[in-house]
Structure 1
Amino acid sequence: MIDYPEWYRIAQVKFQIRKYTYRRETMFMKAKFSMKAGMTTRMIKIHNVQHLDIWLKQLRVLYDRRDYNLYYSLAHYKDGIPNGSLNLADRDFGNWNEEHWKSMDGYDFLLDIDAGNHKEMDFAHVSATLIKKLFDRLEVPYHLRFSGMGFHFVIPYVYFSELELNFKPEADNNIYEFFMKIAMELHKRYSEMIDTGIYDSRRVIKIPYSLALFPYKNYVCFPFGYDAHFNNFNLDNARPYNLFHNISDEPEHLFNPNGNVFKLLKELKLMKDG
């Protein structure tokens, strides 16, 4: 039966993961429940499948079964992040952490509906349904994913690029505070399950097609490809052995690809009419 860590031996899984890590920062986060050796490691550069294989080996995922969840940055960088040593003790990125925003050429919007625990997943699905109906009514372009403990709506940066928001965290018109305002309005109007505390320049989120690890069961963080796929969601459908035969080669589905974010911003009173 396919599960962790064998999931990461599947070629198509690795090819999909590489699509999300290219020109982003990758993080291997040690699972909170794990009693095994290992430590959370970020500033990992994965631009091809070979890079992923190297880090799976370096962090002893496949052979020692060390427990890691995989994340990628909402920020994307013109040339990716700096190269770093495989020897964790020798990694030194100078002042890049302080000045990383100067290398950014995009930062996607994330709306995170967090169930807190799997017993509340039905409530999270109801909340996600409300947001989905709103986004569809206002023709907002978005990706929709199961995150392992809830649902992620991701709007690619290109749909916000006309607003000329600043990547510098200290700037008055920085993109992170603007995105937080969107989340806070949606939290107030639609669901208290929306996490409003996640908006900063180094934010990372679960990589689609990676596994979300829990003490007794693991789930695939997967994107939804059509309405019925989301409407008929249940947790068992997200188990690795139910999904490994259905990994698509296609790009992730974008709902409302011909839409924009301006109707949403006007409805939330974050943009003036005209």
Structure 2
Amino acid sequence: MTRTEHAYLNDTFLFEHNGSKVVNVSRSENEPKQSVVLLNSTIFHPQGGGQPSDVGIISDGQTTFKVLKAIKSGEQVQHLGTFEPEDSTFEENAIVHQTVDKDSRLQNASLHSAGHLIDFAVKLIGFDKWTSSKGYHFPQSPYVEYNHNGQYTKESEIVETLNVELDKLLKKNENVKVEMVPYDKWTEIPSYLPAGEPVRTINYGGICGACSGTHVNTFGQIGSKITIKSAKKKGAVVRVSYKVE
């Protein structure tokens, strides 16, 4: 099985790429009207980690493949979509040009990065017992969840304090640090990351973790404002809902 090189890991702001090779084209098992295109390298971020996939087009100069969704399957990234013309296809080993929808990519990266910045803000306001458990960074009602481990005050106080802290962080506009760490030098590696390969770590103000999503380069690139809408406790979990402007 040919492993897909994940070129999007190197640069969130890479929207076009030329020179990838077609590995295989097949019909989708779940969507009969759609095809699955495999490439030796891709700039399309697959859905995962609470983040939606990129969309866009792949073209060999004559035939266009509209990428409706990208998903990860083992070591491969599958591009699901439709050919134009409908009865066309790519030949194996064809060299193609990839174009990611810029607006969608930047929105996804912004919402995802906002979730990481909220992690940092949570620690800064003193909720050091909170541990991340889930993130949903889709445009429809994004949120992050934490195990509160018994540390919780009034919701209104948490919301107000977080909003003040996030405003400060956006104005400071610090850099987001990305580093590839040797596999044997990193602990708590997520199970979905390839064993033995360097681990991509993301650092927001000292909150560092393994992550394969798309990220902005500075806090300020997230947007002009992150607003915490609610911080509702349900059992052992706190769900912090937010929006980015």
Both proteins in one fold, TM over 0.5: no
TM-score (norm 1): 0.25
The answer to which structure, 1 or 2, has the higher relative contact order (CA under 8 A, 6+ apart) is: 1
Please say which structure displays the higher CA radius of gyration: 2
Richer in strand (by share): 2
TM-score (norm 2): 0.27
Richer in helix (by share): 1
